[in-house]
Structure formats: structure tokens, C-alpha cells
Amino acid sequence: MKDIATIQRTKAILERHGFSFKKSLGQNFLIDLNILSKIVGAAELSEVSGVLEIGPGIGSLTEQSAKRAKKVVALEIDQRLLPILDDTMSPYPHVKVIHGDALELDLREIVEQEFLNEGIEDISVVANLPYYVTTPIIMRLLESGVKFRSLVMMIQKEVAERIGAKPGTKAYGSLSIAIQYYAEAEVSFIVPKNVFIPAPNVDSAVITLRMRKEPAVQVKDEAFFFDVARASFAQRRKTILNNLTNYIGKEHKVELERSLHEAGIDPKRRGETLSLEEFARLSDTILPLKNS
């Protein structure tokens, strides 16, 4: 059988099922086998691997994962795609499609039932994510408590660059910190617009997140650590002292300045220059000001 991800086969499948794209769901289907091969290659799948996919579309990437993995579970929000996936995935009995929203489904329960109960412990996410919910989905995966080995995802190029950014760069921000706290991030390769139908307005990138066994830094209050990072980038041109004063409260400015010095951070620095370690030290040092 011919692969799904060719322009001819994709169009034939869509026509046969009378499918029309929904812009609101960010549907862009891949039609380049070389790109798909590189995505599953980045995931380093084997015959003992389990794959969780979000937004399988008509199954182009699902099919390539299924050729290498022991089991693939795909979460699809669009009910209209279920009969198409029944059709395209019929040669792959080890693929299961679950209808639902990845932001609402219980990911831990799905992984427990579909993978762990079947003795599959090497679990990765391999997905072409809808751009409009990229960040919420990635954070949901990272915060789910599931022990994924890696997350290999096609996302908007600009977001991929922000995720993998280093301190001192323009792209570095609270998203970089939040994701690098849980995983080592690497932009694997860039994907041009013309390998999708319909073509998106922007270029894409495949990012690989290798999950850490422990968070990159130890902090006393994880939620506060993330809040401090977000607040530090509220107005990028402002100093860390000014941004955090707006967050903690003007009445604590003197204590805040003292705490910054105590943490070994110059109050005149900007948030984009601080490393994860410095944000961890800072959030622990100013934690007493949180409820004061």
C-alpha cells in the first residue's frame, strides 16, 4: 500500500471522505515522506516503544510511527476525522485512536491503560501540533507526571526557537525557562511551508525535548518559581528589580533589592540575562515576600 503522505494519496483520501479543513482547528497535513521519516528518526523509536500522538489528522505521521513502534495511541479532537482514521489505519492493528481534547483528557490514565498495562515503558510523544494550542499542550504534557522519554513535535518555528533559547538571546523568555526546567530542548530541523496542505502562513520546526529525570533546578515553591520567571519578562526593557517590584508590590522594593543582592544578582540586570539557576536562587530568596 502506498504511504498516506503523498499529495496524490492525501487528496484522494480527503475527496473520498468529503473532508474540508477547519481553520479553527489549525489543520495542516504533511505531504512529505522525507520530513516524516526525519521526525520519527528524531524520536529514536524501536519495537518496544509506545507513541502518544496528538492531532493525527488523516494519519500521515501515525503511519510512520506505527512502522517502527510497538503501539501508537492518537488523540483526535475532530470527530469528522475518526472514520478517515478507521480507514487509513486499518493496516495497523496496533494503532488506537481516542476521540477527545488533549487539554481535557486524563493523559496519565491513558498512558497507564494503553501502554504501562501492556508492559510498554519506553513512551514518547511524536506529533504535528496545531499551532493555536502548541504551548498549552506542551505544558500539559510536561506537567502530566507521565514519564515520557522524549517529546518530538512539529511546531511553529518561532515558538521552537523560544523554547530552545539560551539566556542573553532575544528569543529567551519565560517559556524557555518553563520547558527547560523539565527537559533538554533542541531544535532538530526547520520545515518549509510547502510540505503541507493547506500550506500554513509560517515556517515550522521540529523540536526534541528529552525529559530530565529530575527538574533542571531544585526550588522551594515550583509555582512561585514560574511566576517569578513570567513577572521578570513582563516588560522586557525593564530591569529585573522594576519588573519584580510590579509583581511583588512597591512597598517591598527595598527588601526586594536587598534580596536580589543576597541572591548574587545585580538589580539592574534584565530578566533575559538570568539563567535557570539564577531564577531558582532568586525565587527561593524572595519567597518570604510572597505572602507578606
pLDDT of 102 over the 70 cut: yes
Q: SS3 string of 251-263? A: HHHHHHHHHHHHC
Task: Identify the pLDDT of residue 27.
Answer: 78
Residue 142 in marked binding region: no
Note the Cα 117 to chain centre separation in Å: 25
pLDDT of 274 over the 70 cut: yes
Joined together, the cell numbers standing for residue 183 give 527537559
Determine which of 9-23, 31-45, 267-281 has the lowest per-residue pLDDT on average: 9-23
Q: Which domains does the chain have, with CATH numbers?
A: 7-211 (3.40.50.150), 222-289 (1.10.8.100)
Residue 227 in marked binding region: no
**Model pLDDT for residues 155-206, shown as the tens digit of each residue:** 999 999 999 999 999 999 999 999 999 999 999 999 999 998 888 888 999 9
Residue 41 in marked binding region: no
Q: How far is the C-alpha of 26 from the C-alpha of 198, rounded, in Å?
A: 10
Mean pLDDT of 207-216: 96
Q: Which residue has the higher pLDDT, 292 or 188?
A: 188
- Helix, strand, coil percentages in the chain from 3-state DSSP, rounded to 5: 45, 20, 35
Residue in 69, 68, 63, 4 with CA at minimum distance from that of residue 31: 4
pLDDT of 279 over the 90 cut: yes
Contacts of 31 (CB under 8 A, 6+ apart): 5, 6, 7, 10, 60, 195, 196, 197
Mean pLDDT of 91-116: 97
pLDDT of 84 over the 90 cut: yes
**Model pLDDT for residues 218-232, shown as the tens digit of each residue:** 999 999 999 999 999
Task: Identify the pLDDT of residue 63.
Answer: 97
Q: How far is the C-alpha of 115 from the C-alpha of 108, rounded, in Å?
A: 10
Residue 61 in marked binding region: no
Residue 242 in marked binding region: no
Q: Give the predicted TM-score (pTM) of the model.
A: 0.91
Query: 245 near 253, Cβ under 8 Å?
Result: yes
At 1, the pLDDT band (50, 70, 90 cuts) reads low
Task: Identify the pLDDT of residue 200.
Answer: 84
Contacts of 60 (CB under 8 A, 6+ apart): 3, 4, 5, 10, 29, 30, 31, 36
At 131, the pLDDT band (50, 70, 90 cuts) reads confident
Q: How far is the C-alpha of 184 from the C-alpha of 241, rounded, in Å?
A: 29
Joined together, the cell numbers standing for residue 30 give 504533511
For the chain, the average pLDDT equals 94
Task: Identify the pLDDT of residue 20.
Answer: 82
pLDDT of 26 over the 80 cut: no
Round to the nearest angstrom and report the end-to-end CA distance of the chain. 66
Residue 28 in marked binding region: yes
- Report residue 208: phi and psi, to 5°: -110, 120
